[in-house]
Amino acid sequence: MDKVYLFDLAARHSAWASVRQATIAGNIANADTPGYRAAEVEPFSAVLDKTHLAEARTNPAHLSMSAPGAATVKMDDAESWSISDNGNTVSLDQQMIKANEVSGAFTLNTSIVRSFHRMVLASVRNV
């Protein structure tokens, strides 16, 4: 049986979300600073791609994660929000949306770890 790296993955995701949350807080703190450019953290999918984790299908009936018909659209954030008169690129609305995304990421991460922990405990108790 291969090792399961779910807890390591959850820890990496949590660390990424913490960095993103700090970046968003810095952007909000500098919302009125003339010439300040909003910072952004690379998406977690890019961080995950650097870990070289491979998908494991233990049964041919399992679904594949790569859907051939799925398409993604990339949108440049700098073009989607306006720049203020003082050259500042921080949009409080955009930062609040991103903060909500980080909150959702933390909630999802916690739920997955809790569920996996329960599953591990159930398998140990039944042995």
Higher pLDDT, 16 or 1: 16
Q: Is the pLDDT score of 27 beyond 60?
A: yes
User: What is the model's pLDDT at position 60?
Assistant: 76
**Which candidate, 72, 74, 54, places its Cα nearest to that of 64?**
54
Picking from 31, 22, 19, the residue whose alpha carbon sits closest to that of residue 93 is 31
The confidence score (pLDDT) of residue 4 equals 64
Residue 38: closest CA among 104, 68, 100, 82? 82
Helix axes 6-29, 92-125, angle to 10 degrees: 160
Mean of the pLDDT values across residues 104-111?
93
**What does the pLDDT read at residue 2?**
56
Mean pLDDT of the 81-110 span: 86
Structure-block tokens of residue 32: 């009125």
Closest CA to 89 of 97, 98, 78: 78
pTM for this entry: 0.68
Rounded Cα–Cα distance for residues 46 and 58 (Å): 25
